[in-house]
A and B are shown apart, each in its own frame.
Chain A
Amino acid sequence: MSLLALAPIPAPTIEYGTLSPLLLVFGAAVAGVLVEAFTPRYLRKSLQMPITLLSLIGAFALTVWQGTQGVREAAAMGAVAVDGPSLFVWGAILLLAIVSVLLVNDDDHFVAQASAVPGSAEEDQAISQGGAHTEIYPLVLFAVGGMMLFPASNDLLIMFVALEVMSLPLYLLCGLARRRRLLSQEAAMKYFLLGAFSSAFFLYGTALLYGFAGSVDLGALQQMISTQLGQDNLLYIGAAMLGVGLLFKIGAAPFQAWKPDVYQGSPTPITALMASGTLIAAFGALLRVFWVGLGNLDEIWQPVLWAVAILTMVIGAILAITQTDIKRMLAYSSIAHTGFLLVAVVATGNLQQNAAALGGILFYLVAYGFATVGAFAVVTMVRDAGGEAGHLSRWAGLGKRSPALAGIFALFLLAFAGIPLTSGFFGKYAVFAPAVAGGATTLVIVGVVTSAMAAFFYVRVIVLMFFSDPAPEGPTIAVPSMGTAAVVALSAAATVVLGVFPQPVLDLAHSAAQSLFVR
């Protein structure tokens, strides 16, 4: 007692205004939990949905408000960096989360009662009673909050906490698919085990780097790398372990194995959220760690990331060709896109070069995020008796059956393939151009060659949809709910607008990137 009296601990200062988007999302998530606890079952959905959607929209508005406020700095005693890239990433994650929540809102994606054994009488009973897990909404909010904190955290411990806050709800959500529940549970289990494993790597890396630098603060770490001599083993091993944890989250080879299984097994709205939001968040965190924390170590990690980028692009593009399930194919395509993004991550140089590369990555993430959410939204609509028609052969002749939907899906595929006049083309250009300027021309050549390979499997789906005869008992096209229709329309519009008139978003990305990361 007397000790405390002698040396009073200074109260930490929290910039509530700056952190308001984060606080709103987390607050709404907690409110969602309270709703689960205290309201009758029949009221829950009608409360949860507005809470979730309004809080996300509100957080987006607050992010925009913060964006107009000018100078950026590390908030909460230097733990959370609210800088240009963070705000941009927040905005992107929130928009994509809003869109994904509209998909989540469709009832029949999620299990009626998660604890019921698949195929049991109990399950049938739960379905017939119309059971539903409204906990999904607060879980999504927690995950989104984690996604926002992850790329904004300015020290490694906060980053680890954010990583877990983001991942734990996702592990759960993965296992909640209504149909093919065993596959879904398997996906959740795999994701959880591998994710926990990678988190352990991340944490151990953090510990080693703390041993090296005496601080978990990214800025301090960067300082120490240029001043501290003779502790290289700690530094290198720590950096490598941290890298493993982050590369796992973005799904870069050789840590990509979880992606196809998890994307396939998860309820499709959650897959959409992961493929867009998690990827953006993880890239933000990866950039912060490698560019800020390990910024003075770039001669060491650049060659490694070169190899990882090449491996990721090649594995993603080649394995995607052999896929027969639409969601697995999109997962491998996501791996290939991760590789394209990594091309710009290694393209560091002077400040201007870094800003150009960062701006390109941010633009790419937004362009890819919208196209991918749109693509998964279309996947939810193509159904047969067993739920979504996952197998590619079931998609044959879709263009005949439902030209509009197939046309929109073809648009997303062309965007993935990077055809001009779609968002994907400018995304690709935005990351490849700084890479060439940064001297990574070899990587870019690998990138375009793998793009051409990747184009093959996108085009193959178009061939199936438009040039093949329809299967006699082909899948039915579910009449989309308002939410799903809005998602598809919004994503298609974003894909076209970003492909024809990308300047405003490019400007935004570049002005966000101009300040680079605060230390």
Chain B
Amino acid sequence: MPWLSILMGVPVLGALAVAAVPKGNDKLAKQLTLAVSLVVLALTLAMAAQFDPSGARQQFSEVHDWIPAFGVHYAVAVDGIALVLIALAAVLVPVVVLASWHDAERPDAKRSVKTYFALILVLEAMMIGVFAATDVFLFYVFFEAMLIPMYFMIGSYGGAQRSYAAVKFLLYSLFGGLLMLVAVIALYHLAAKNTFLQPELIGAITDPDTQKWLFLGFFIAFAVKAPLWPFHTWLPDAAAQAPAGAAVLLVGVLDKVGTYGMLRFCLELFPDAAKFFTPVIIALSVIGIVYGAIVAIGQTDMKRLIAYTSISHFGFITMGVFALTADAGSGATLYMVNHGFSTGALFLLAGFLIHRRGSQYIADYGGVQKVAPVLAGTFLIAGLSSLSLPGLSTFVSEFMVLIGTYERYLVPAIIALAGMVLAAVYILWMYQRMMGGPATEQVRGMADLNLREKFVVAPLIALLIGFGFFPKPLLDVINPAVQHTLTSVQAPQFTPAIPAAADQKGPGE
């Protein structure tokens, strides 16, 4: 059964159907979108149930010729890493659809409601495709094509500065992507295998200098996407201007394509170059962790604040990816999933607040916990997950990343710990200013979460708590895949018996 093609085909057909809904029947369009996204979720879970973690690395593989003239295949398959990220997308889309029920209806939005929901479904198909692609060219096609629906979602339905943010988002990503295109072409040509299939290209480039250049071509695109400091400046604008639902998909899933790409393409295709650049990347990650956290503290706009916390968290993820240890790699992958849930919950709750109060500035709130306790409580849990409180799933992943990094890079790991402390500052201070204290005039009449909104938040909170206590199902799937990746990088595994490994100097020393 071609699971992955079905997973992509259903939302595409759904998008066409939603777009074909007659004008003025917005409710039907929304219900249809929700139904389609739930079907995709069910199919994803059915596929995941059949995934065998101890089986072949790539499962549900499909390979067809697409453009033989260029050696391009329609080739999709999933390993553990891709599977959990596809599942993340499949979970977040119905949640976002439900949360965005009224988002597109704002009077200043320029386009029809059904278009917004059709775009979400198109985006879902592309998100699944980008994680499933095992052909470098196909991956690139999805990587770039994904920008267009997101561009329209930000530009048509976003806040006051939406067109600036949308253009900035598109141009940054396009620029990175086009540099990657050069690397993709060069990889194909230099490998001289007449194919773009990623498994066949592993080990094809052996010359160290060539590896370095190609690595940079891929890495910059992923670093812009992720975003890694100093390529991050588009994210706060895009996330702050995007409607809450689009921001969730942008930060929660789209940006993961960057870190996923580093793991899947940068490490596996150019292992020597990856090792060569590791100190630089670890340094950039650590800067990103601390910088993102400090700048987040200074934000007055809660969506920008959440965006900056994400920059800090993406620092952890890239650090975990490039620490090249099993714990850090698994932790980073787990982090990608958990961050999606955690930031998703935060953005959506922020969206609910903004919908009620009409402002995204922290200073305009105060005392919300008195009038809307459920809203404030869930906001607190989502916030605590962002600062990695033990018992919530983000803690597991952050802890694994830090342990894995500590094995090889002592000083960066210690500096990164500062990021955790700063996280407590930005989250708790934001909570205190918005939810604590006496209720302000405008907040006093604020309604608590209604049933629809509870249905939005409940699954995310449940996942955060559930995986916080029992991350095993995810780790069982992730671990073998990360092991495979690291084996192809042939990184020397950390073994405590050899003290020399622990003495390796980090870039900070």
Determine the distance from Cα of A463 to Cα of B154 in the docked complex, in whole angstroms. 11
For chain B, the count of residues having a C-beta within 8 Å of the partner chain is 35
Cβ of B182 under 8 Å from chain A: yes
Q: Which B residues are CB-close (under 8 A) to A430?
A: 70
B278 to chain A, nearest CB (A): 25
Cβ of B472 under 8 Å from chain A: no
Partner of B145, one of A417, A421, A436, A507: A421
In A376-428, which residues have CB < 8 Å from any B CB? 397, 399-400, 403, 414, 417, 419-421, 425-426
1/0 contact trace for B166-208 toward A, CB 8 Å? 1100110011001101100110110000000000000000000
* Contact in complex: A466, B67 (CB < 8 Å): no
Q: Which B residues are CB-close (under 8 A) to A503?
A: 66-69
* Contact in complex: A459, B171 (CB < 8 Å): yes
Q: From B111, B151, B166, B185, name the one whose CB has the most chain A CB atoms within 10 angstroms.
A: B185
Partner of A419, one of B148, B155, B156, B175: B148
A186 to chain B, nearest CB (A): 34
Partner of A420, one of B68, B112, B145: B145
Q: Which B residues are CB-close (under 8 A) to A441?
A: 182, 186
Cβ of B110 under 8 Å from chain A: yes
Determine the distance from Cα of A456 to Cα of B141 in the docked complex, in whole angstroms. 20
Determine the distance from Cα of A451 to Cα of B69 in the docked complex, in whole angstroms. 24
* Contact in complex: B166, A433 (CB < 8 Å): no
* Contact in complex: B110, A456 (CB < 8 Å): no
* Contact in complex: A420, B141 (CB < 8 Å): yes
* Contact in complex: B110, A449 (CB < 8 Å): no
Determine the distance from Cα of A399 to Cα of B69 in the docked complex, in whole angstroms. 37
* Contact in complex: B145, A467 (CB < 8 Å): no
* Contact in complex: B167, A502 (CB < 8 Å): no
Q: Which A residues are CB-close (under 8 A) to B148?
A: 414, 419
B375 to chain A, nearest CB (A): 31
Cβ of B140 under 8 Å from chain A: yes
Cβ of A517 under 8 Å from chain B: no
Cβ of A444 under 8 Å from chain B: yes
Q: Which B residues are CB-close (under 8 A) to A460?
A: 167
Q: Which A residues are CB-close (under 8 A) to B147?
A: 419
Determine the distance from Cα of A420 to Cα of B166 in the docked complex, in whole angstroms. 18
1/0 contact trace for A441-462 toward B, CB 8 Å? 1001100110110011001101
* Contact in complex: B70, A429 (CB < 8 Å): yes
Determine the distance from Cα of A466 to Cα of B149 in the docked complex, in whole angstroms. 13
Q: Which B residues are CB-close (under 8 A) to A426?
A: 67
Determine the distance from Cα of A456 to Cα of B175 in the docked complex, in whole angstroms. 10
Determine the distance from Cα of A430 to Cα of B69 in the docked complex, in whole angstroms. 10
* Contact in complex: B185, A510 (CB < 8 Å): no
B178: nearest residue on chain A (CB-CB)?
Answer: A448
Cβ of A212 under 8 Å from chain B: no
1/0 contact trace for B65-107 toward A, CB 8 Å? 0111110000000000000000000000000000000000000
In B385-444, which residues have CB < 8 Å from any A CB? none
For chain A, the count of residues having a C-beta within 8 Å of the partner chain is 40
B166 to chain A, nearest CB (A): 7
* Contact in complex: A429, B185 (CB < 8 Å): yes
How would you classify the secondary structure of chain B's contact residues: helix, strand, loop or mixed? helix
Q: Which B residues are CB-close (under 8 A) to A467?
A: 110, 155-156, 162-163, 166
* Contact in complex: A452, B171 (CB < 8 Å): yes
Cβ of A468 under 8 Å from chain B: yes
Determine the distance from Cα of A113 to Cα of B174 in the docked complex, in whole angstroms. 48
Decide: A445 near B163, CB < 8 A? Known: A452-B175, A456-B171: no
Decide: A466 near B111, CB < 8 A? Known: A433-B188, A444-B185: yes
Cβ of B453 under 8 Å from chain A: no
Q: Which A residues are CB-close (under 8 A) to B181?
A: 429, 432, 448
Q: Which B residues are CB-close (under 8 A) to A463?
A: 155, 163, 166-167
Cβ of B26 under 8 Å from chain A: no
Cβ of A437 under 8 Å from chain B: yes
Determine the distance from Cα of A445 to Cα of B67 in the docked complex, in whole angstroms. 24
Q: Which A residues are CB-close (under 8 A) to B189?
A: 433, 436-437
* Contact in complex: B144, A456 (CB < 8 Å): no
Q: Which B residues are CB-close (under 8 A) to A452?
A: 171, 174-175, 178
Determine the distance from Cα of A255 to Cα of B175 in the docked complex, in whole angstroms. 28
Decide: A507 near B171, CB < 8 A? Known: A403-B111, A419-B145: no
1/0 contact trace for B316-327 toward A, CB 8 Å? 000000000000
Determine the distance from Cα of A140 to Cα of B152 in the docked complex, in whole angstroms. 40
Cβ of A87 under 8 Å from chain B: no
Cβ of A286 under 8 Å from chain B: no
A460: nearest residue on chain B (CB-CB)?
Answer: B167
* Contact in complex: A448, B179 (CB < 8 Å): yes
A406 to chain B, nearest CB (A): 10
Determine the distance from Cα of A506 to Cα of B66 in the docked complex, in whole angstroms. 12
* Contact in complex: B69, A444 (CB < 8 Å): no
In B463-481, which residues have CB < 8 Å from any A CB? none
Decide: A466 near B110, CB < 8 A? Known: A448-B181, A503-B69, A506-B67: yes
In B240-275, which residues have CB < 8 Å from any A CB? none
B118 to chain A, nearest CB (A): 12
* Contact in complex: A432, B182 (CB < 8 Å): yes
A451: nearest residue on chain B (CB-CB)?
Answer: B178
Q: Which A residues are CB-close (under 8 A) to B170?
A: 455, 459
B181: nearest residue on chain A (CB-CB)?
Answer: A448
Determine the distance from Cα of A508 to Cα of B360 in the docked complex, in whole angstroms. 56
A475 to chain B, nearest CB (A): 17
B21 to chain A, nearest CB (A): 14
Q: Which A residues are CB-close (under 8 A) to B151?
A: 459
Q: Which B residues are CB-close (under 8 A) to A469?
A: 110
A99 to chain B, nearest CB (A): 25
Q: Which B residues are CB-close (under 8 A) to A403?
A: 111-112
1/0 contact trace for B119-157 toward A, CB 8 Å? 000000000000000000000111011011001100110
Q: Name B residues whose Cβ lies closer than 8 Å to a Cβ of A.
A: 66-70, 110-112, 140-142, 144-145, 147-148, 151-152, 155-156, 162-163, 166-167, 170-171, 174-175, 178-179, 181-182, 185-186, 188-189
Q: Name A residues whose Cβ lies closer than 8 Å to a Cβ of B.
A: 359, 397, 399-400, 403, 414, 417, 419-421, 425-426, 429-430, 432-433, 436-437, 441, 444-445, 448-449, 451-452, 455-456, 459-460, 462-463, 466-469, 502-503, 506-507, 510
The contact sample of 25 A-B pairs, CB cut-off 8 A, is A403-B111, A419-B144, A420-B140, A420-B142, A425-B141, A426-B67, A429-B70, A429-B185, A430-B70, A433-B70, A448-B179, A448-B181, A448-B182, A451-B178, A452-B174, A452-B178, A455-B171, A455-B174, A463-B167, A466-B152, A466-B156, A467-B110, A503-B68, A503-B69, A507-B69
Sample of 16 further A-B pairs with CB below 8 A, known A444-B182, A463-B166 = A397-B110, A399-B111, A403-B112, A414-B148, A417-B174, A420-B145, A432-B185, A451-B178, A455-B171, A459-B167, A463-B155, A466-B155, A467-B166, A469-B110, A502-B67, A510-B69
Q: Which 3 A-B pairs have the closest CB atoms?
A: A448-B178, A467-B163, A420-B141
